[in-house]
Structures are given as structure tokens and as C-alpha cells.
Amino acid sequence: MAVDKCITCGDVVPEGLQICPECMRKSGANEKEIEAAEELRDIANILSITAGTDGNIRVAMESILNIANRLERRKQSEISAENY
């Protein structure tokens, strides 16, 4: 599994994000967006450790990714609702 890197500083970022939480702060992102990015970064770090292992762990990784994606979508919808 390839690990995505921040386009600004090279730090590990979750799949789908292009910049890390610290660079998000520097660019003026709100704290809820940063919190969601940090949670996904931590999950990505765990998954990179277990990549390439047996089938049971791969299934568990996929499940964690699915949970992370749902959490991210939920947080994004909450952020969008607050901004309107």
C-alpha cells in the first residue's frame, strides 16, 4: 500500500488528502477540518504498518478504511452544514 505525502512538507497524509494537518493550519483551515485530517492520518499510519500481511489483516484494514471514509464524510457534511 503506497502512503500519500503532503504536497507541501512531505508528511504522511490519509488517502484523498493532499496536505497535512500542520500545513492546513498554516493555510487557515478550521479546527474541525484539521481534527478530521489528523484522525485519518493516524489510521493511515496504522494501515501502512500492516500492509502486505495475511488476508485477515487485509480485511481488517479495509474495514478500518471504510469506517474512516464514513467518518470523514460525516464530518464534512457537519462542516458544510455549519458553514451554511
Per residue of the chain (84 residues), what is the pLDDT tens digit? 567 888 999 988 767 778 888 898 899 988 888 888 777 777 777 777 666 667 777 777 788 888 888 888 888 888 777 776
Helix (H) or strand (E) holding 61: helix 55-83
- By CB atoms closer than 10 A (0-12, 13-18, 19+), residue 54 is exposed
* C-alpha atoms less than 13 angstroms from C-alpha of 65 in its C-beta half-sphere: 16
Which cell goes with 62?
479495509
- Domain extent at residue 25: 4-83
pLDDT at 7: 93
pLDDT at 52: 63
pTM of the predicted protein model: 0.45
Number of domains in the chain: 1
